[in-house]
Chains A and B, each alone.
Chain A
Amino acid sequence: MSTHPAFADTLRGEWIKFRSLRSTWLTLGGLVVIGLGITVLSADASVASYPTATVEERQDWDPTNRSLLMYMVAQLVIGVLGILVVTSEYATGLMQTSLSATPRRHRLLGAKVAVVTAVAVVSGQVLMLTSFLIGQARFVASGLPYATLDDPRALSAVVGGGLYLAVIGLLTVGLGTIMRATAGALATLVGIVLLVPPLADLFPWLDGLFAFWPTLGGAAVMETVVNPDHPHPWLNLAGMGAGALAVLAVAFVLFERRDV
Chain B
Amino acid sequence: MTNIDVRGLTKRYGPRTVVDDLSFTVPAGRVTGFLGPNGAGKSTTMRMILGLAAPDGGSATIGGRRYRDLPVPLTEVGALLDAGAVHAARTARNHLLALAASNGLPRRRVDEVLARVGLESVAGEHAGSFSLGMRQRLGIAAALLGDPRVLIFDEPVNGLDPEGIRWIRAFMRSLAGEGRAVLVSSHLMSEMAQTADHLVVIGRGRLIADTGMSEFMQTNGDGTVLVRADDADTFALHLSAAGATVREGPESSLVVSDMTGAQIGKLAAFHGVALSELVPQRASLEDVFMELTSDSVEYHGAVEYHGAAA
Contact = CB atoms under 8 A, between A and B. Distances in A.
A101 B50 CA distance: 10
B51 A99 contact: yes
Contacts of A104: 68
A100 B73 contact: yes
A249 interface: no
A16 B75 contact: no
Interface string B254-271: 000000000000000000
Contact of A9 (B75, B91, B102): B102
Contacts of A88: 87
Nearest to B94: A20
Contact of B89 (A10, A22, A98, A103): A22
A4 to B, nearest CB: 5
Contacts of A227: none
Nearest to B79: A100
B237 interface: no
B221 to A, nearest CB: 38
A102 B67 CA distance: 10
B102 A103 contact: no
Nearest to A88: B87
Interface in B35-84: 47, 50-54, 67-68, 70-75, 77, 79, 81-82, 84
A49 interface: no
A96 interface: yes
Given A2-B72, A260-B53, A23 B103 contact: no
A1 B75 contact: yes
A103 B98 contact: no
Interface residues of chain B: helix, strand, loop or mixed (majority): loop
Interface in A3-25: 3-6, 9-10, 12-14, 16-17, 20-23
Interface residues of chain A: helix, strand, loop or mixed (majority): helix
B73 A12 contact: no
B contact residues, range: 35 or more
A30 interface: no
Contacts of B89: 21-23
Contact of B103 (A9, A16, A17, A257): A9
B52 A16 contact: no
A78 to B, nearest CB: 20
Most buried by B among A3, A10, A96, A257: A96
Interface in A133-181: none
A118 interface: no
A23 B87 CA distance: 11
A21 B90 CA distance: 6
Given A9-B103, A99-B52, A259-B53, A17 B90 contact: yes
A2 B106 contact: yes
Given A94-B85, A260-B53, A101 B103 contact: yes
A99 B88 CA distance: 19
Contact of A13 (B68, B70, B90, B101): B101
A97 interface: yes
B226 interface: no
Given A2-B72, A96-B85, A12 B52 contact: no
A259 B47 contact: yes
A16 B79 contact: no
A37 interface: no
Contacts of A100: 50-52, 73-74, 77, 79, 81
A6 B106 CA distance: 14
A231 B235 CA distance: 109
Interface string A74-105: 00000000000000110011101111111110
A103 B68 contact: yes
B46 to A, nearest CB: 10
A104 B88 CA distance: 25
A102 B51 CA distance: 10
Contacts of A259: 47, 52-54
A25 B146 CA distance: 30
B104 interface: yes
A96 B81 contact: yes
Nearest to A108: B102
Contacts of B90: 17, 20-21
Given A20-B94, A22-B89, A94-B87, A102 B102 contact: yes
A92 B67 contact: no
Nearest to A89: B87
B125 interface: no
Given A16-B94, A92-B88, A102-B73, 16 more contacts: A2-B72, A2-B106, A2-B146, A3-B72, A5-B71, A12-B101, A12-B102, A21-B89, A97-B86, A100-B52, A100-B79, A101-B102, A103-B50, A103-B51, A103-B67, A259-B54
Interface of B: 47, 50-54, 67-68, 70-75, 77, 79, 81-82, 84-91, 94-95, 97-106, 142, 146-147
